Structure 1
Amino acid sequence: MTQTLQRPPNTAEPMLAGEKSRTETFLVKLFAVVPLLALAAAVPFAWGWGLGWTDVALAIGFYFLTGLGVTIGFHRYFTHGAFKANRGLRIALAATGSMAMQGPVIGWVADHRRHHAFADREGDPHSPWRYGTSAAALAKGFWHAHMGWLFDREKTNAQRFAPDLLADRDIARIDRWFPALTVVTLLAPAVLGGLVTMSWWGALTAFFWASLVRVAVLHHVTWSVNSLCHMIGDRPYAARDKSANFWPLAIASMGESWHNSHHADPTGARHGVRRGQLDMSARLIWLFEKVGWATEVRWPKPERLARKLNPGYSAAPRGFGKAERGLLTETPDRSRS
């Protein structure tokens, strides 16, 4: 069975691979701006008409389908190797993550591995701290981390940061299929909406809500992990950067906003490691493990987290739950670590 594994960046290769082409730059702007305009139009569009339960169901369904493709697939699996996946799951995660319209899988992973290699330092593609700590600098940094970095012409070198994915024929093929998967993610809700309502109007409203608005909301939730989760929130664990846990985004980000916990233990399959920290991505990985699709899952270890605990925080992560759900069962004792 072919297996994609995380490999350390090849430091012999340059960090950047030139600049994005004008076509690539145009498409990035198109995919970022058009859904945003749809989101801005959503409130007046929906005022009293143009939104039904079919639209809501399709929007929620495609939001979590594609979002989990990013959180479980692009991030925890392809970027960090938090578990091993069989070929079917690996392909499915690459395809559904691509349908989030956040870029092809190899480029996404290369950017994110570069982010971890240089988090909040020179070389990080989207740190909000790159311009300084004054109010004006942080405002500029927030824009850059949230969205502005996407418009930069520099291109992360995949040969250095994602050689394993370039060598994987299945993933390289899905990477090339990104334009086709973009068409699928935009048109599938419209087709389903039209079939359910048996009307062109149902297809149009489904396209607006479950395609354009859904993509825009997921974009901004993901980008908020880059921006907000490196600026504000709770920092119970020591990390080399300013990553923080931001609880208001826990559900919408499918567990990704427990960002300080993630940066403290990057290869961990679960980011929400304290009681009450919802992490549906981790729960789904646990289900994949139970049915045998995922193996060698890297669940968090109490002794590792205890060693990284910042002063002023309780050594006990407020109860962990059951080990078979990828949680910890005992209170870490710092005196033994």
Structure 2
Amino acid sequence: MTISPDVLRTNSENSEDTAKSAPASGEPLPSATLGGDQRRSVEQITLLLFITVPFIALVAAVPLAWGWGVSWLDLGLLVGMYFLGCHGITIGFHRYFTHGAFKAKKPLRVALAVAGSMAVEGPLVRWVADHRKHHKYSDAEGDPHSPWRYGETVPALLKGLWWAHVGWMFDEEQTPQHKYAPDLVKDPVIRRISRQFVLWTAVSLAIPPVVGGLVTMSWQGALTAFFWGSLVRVALLHHVTWSINSICHAVGKRPFKSRDRSGNVWWLAVLSCGESWHNLHHADPTCARHGVLKGQIDSSARLIRWFEKAGWAYDVRWPSRKRIDARRREEAAEAA
């Protein structure tokens, strides 16, 4: 089995890593990673808990911060763990594993897989398979999480936004991982990390209270660190990531040509680590930088540049002026 260009939606530019690691025709694939292609009831219940409990903490954080404040330690843990997981998703799960925007040496490859897993957004292989399928059918029938699923009227769009943001994750039918991510299923290291998702979730949730408890030498310090650095952080990162599926496919400027409704939403740029420059991403999926226009902050692209300078990343697909101009809409090009 090989990965077709349509699956990756890379405008005829697939990752060489993906092509080389895809199994040959007739060669049996290893068993699927954690979760398989059917979501069981226990998974749905667990998912519901991981959505509702951090969200309740996020809602409670506002009056708590207003009434009692938040310590610099807890705030530092929240911000540090947030951007570790966020960049693990944006650089690792998304730009590297899904789209092959660059190549990485093994230590960086493993580090990105672990960092992305600590974002608590699901096993790596399932995440990649879902996203590759999204690009194949973006905002059309077959897209796992299009906000236009139910139509274009206001009630239909509101229902679709809920589906794209949260609802789709409870669908019992899952994206076939052997079909959409055979390269990762075949990789024993990545397959192992994906199967260890529960472990990396536990590590991610445990780091803040352990650090908070040791620094303050108190159970109260551990508890507040868990609240801010684990629960609030996970909820905030989840909803920012899900907003790329929902908000960025419903509103935003579209200076580049794409076959879907992906848009640029500037106010999500910092929190999404550059992912909300979503229109360019769908116009040029393998590009390592999403914020290609003046003033568009893209911290993920900056880190990839640093990885490249350190020799950890190579063959990075940076945007060129010719490539950018070729994807501009005519009205946008005239305005520029």
CA 1:202–1:4 in 2, change beyond 3 Å: closer, same or farther?
farther
Q: Does structure 1 residue 230 correspond to structure 2 residue 249?
A: yes
Contact 2:325 2:333 in 1 (8 A): no
The number of residue pairs the alignment matches comes to 311
Structure 2 residues without counterparts, runs of 5 or longer: 1-14, 30-35
Question: Contact 2:37/2:177 (CA < 8 Å) preserved in 1?
Answer: no
Deviations 1:11-60 (A, max 9, x none): x99xxx75311122222212111111111111222333262110000000
Query: 2 CA distance for matches of 1:116 and 1:255?
Result: 18
Give the partner amino acid of 2:131: H
Give the distance between the partners of 2:309 and 2:322, measured in 1 at CA: 25
Residue 190 of structure 1 is matched in structure 2 by 209
CA distance in 1, matches of 2:94, 2:129: 11
Is structure 2 residue 179 aligned with structure 1 residue 165? no
| Matching residue's letter, 1:248 | W
| Map of 2:273 onto structure 1 | 254
- CA distance in 1 between counterparts of 2:82 and 2:290 reads 20
How far the C-alpha of 1:7 sits from its partner, in A, is 4.6
Is the contact made by 1:82 and 1:267 (CA closer than 8 Å) also made in structure 2?
A: yes
> How far 1:316 sits from its partner (Å)?
8.7
Matched residue SS, 1:253:
coil
Could you tell me which runs of 5 or more consecutive residues in structure 1 were left unpaired when the two chains were aligned: 318-337
- Alpha-carbon contact 2:116-2:124 (below 8 Å) kept: yes
Structure 1 SS opposite 2:256: coil
User: Structure 1: how far apart are the matches of 2:285 and 2:222?
Assistant: 41
Kindly report which structure 2 residues correspond to 1:1-337, keeping only aligned pairs within 5 A, or say none. Answer: 5-7=17-19, 19-49=38-68, 51-314=70-333
Kindly provide the CA deviation profile for residues 126-146 of structure 1, in whole angstroms up to 9, marking residues without a partner as x.
000010000000000000011
- Report Cα offsets for 1:263-317 as digits up to 9, x if no partner: 0110000000001000000000000000100010000122222122112213697
Equivalents in 1 of 2:146, 2:231: separation in Å?
27
Write the distance in 1 (CA, Å) between the matches of 2:194 and 2:55: 24
Query: Structure 1, residues 57-89: CA drift from partner, whole Å, max 9, x if none?
Result: 000000001110000000000000000000000
TM-score normalised over the length of structure 2: 0.89
- Segments of 4+ moved more than 6 angstroms: none
So what's the TM-score if we normalise by structure 1? 0.89
Separation in 2, partners of 1:67, 1:198: 29
Sequence identity percentage = 58
What letter matches 2:193 in structure 1?
A: I
Please say if residues 5 and 78 of structure 1, whose CA atoms lie closer than 8 Å, have aligned partners that are also in contact. no
Q: Which has a greater percent of helix?
A: 2
Contact 1:194 1:200 in 2 (8 A): yes
Cα-Cα RMSD: 2.0
CA distance in 1, matches of 2:305, 2:229: 28
CA contact (8 A) 1:222 1:253 kept: yes
Task: State how far apart, in whole Å, the 2-side matches of 1:178 and 1:147 are.
Answer: 20
The one-character-per-residue Cα deviations of 1:100-119 (angstroms, maximum 9, x if unpaired) are 00000000000000000000
Q: In the alignment, residue 79 of structure 1 is paired with which amino acid?
A: T
State the distance in 2 between where 1:133 and 1:247 align.
23
Structure 1 letter corresponding to 2:314: T
- Asked if structure 2 preserves the Cα contact closer than 8 Å seen for 1:50 and 1:205, the reply is no
Report which structure shows greater RCO (CA 8 Å, sep ≥6).
2
